[in-house]
Chain A
Amino acid sequence: MEIIERIRRQDVRAIARLMSLVENNAPEATAALKELYPITGQAFIVGITGPPGSGKSTLTDQLTKEFRRDGKTVGIIAVDPTSPFTGGAILADRIRMQQHSLDAGVFIRSMATRGHLGGLARATGDVVNVLDAAGKELILVETVGVGQDEVEVVKTADTCVVVSVPGLGDDVQAIKAGILEIADIFVVNKADREGADKTVTELQAMMGLGPGRSDWSPPILKTVATQGQGIAELVQGILAHRAHLDRRGLRQMRQRERSRALFLELLQEQGTRRLLERASANGTLEHTIERIAKREMDPYSAVEELLAKAGL
Chain B
Amino acid sequence: MSEERKIRVLVAKPGLDGHDRGAKVIARAFRDAGFEVIYTGLRQTPEMIVSAAIQEDVDAIGLSCLSGAHMYLFPRIVELLRERGADDVVVFGGGTIPDEDIATLKEAGIAEIFTPGTSTSVAIDYVRTHVRQRA
Contact = CB atoms under 8 A, between A and B. Distances in A.
A94 B40 contact: yes
A82 B41 CA distance: 19
Given A13-B86, A19-B57, A20-B57, A94 B52 contact: yes
A24 to B, nearest CB: 5
Interface in A83-140: 83, 86-92, 94-95, 98, 101-102, 107-110, 112, 114
B56 interface: yes
A20 B55 CA distance: 10
Interface string B44-55: 100110011011
Nearest to A85: B32
Interface residues of B, number: 34
A17 interface: yes
B84 interface: yes
Contact of B57 (A16, A102, A112): A16
Contacts of A232: none
B84 to A, nearest CB: 7
Interface size class of A (residues with CB under 8 A): 35 or more
Contacts of A102: 47-48, 51
- Interface of A (DSSP majority class): mixed
A88 to B, nearest CB: 4
B49 to A, nearest CB: 9
Contact of A88 (B37, B54, B135): B37
B2 to A, nearest CB: 6
B57 A88 contact: no
A108 B10 CA distance: 14
Contacts of B51: 101-102
Contact of B85 (A13, A86, A95, A110): A13
Contact of A114 (B4, B44, B85): B4
Given A17-B57, A90-B37, A95-B41, 6 more contacts: A25-B4, A91-B38, A101-B51, A102-B47, A110-B36, A110-B56
7 contacts: A13-B84, A15-B55, A16-B55, A27-B1, A88-B33, A88-B34, A90-B28
4 nearest A-B residue pairs (beta carbon): A88-B31, A95-B41, A16-B57, A87-B34
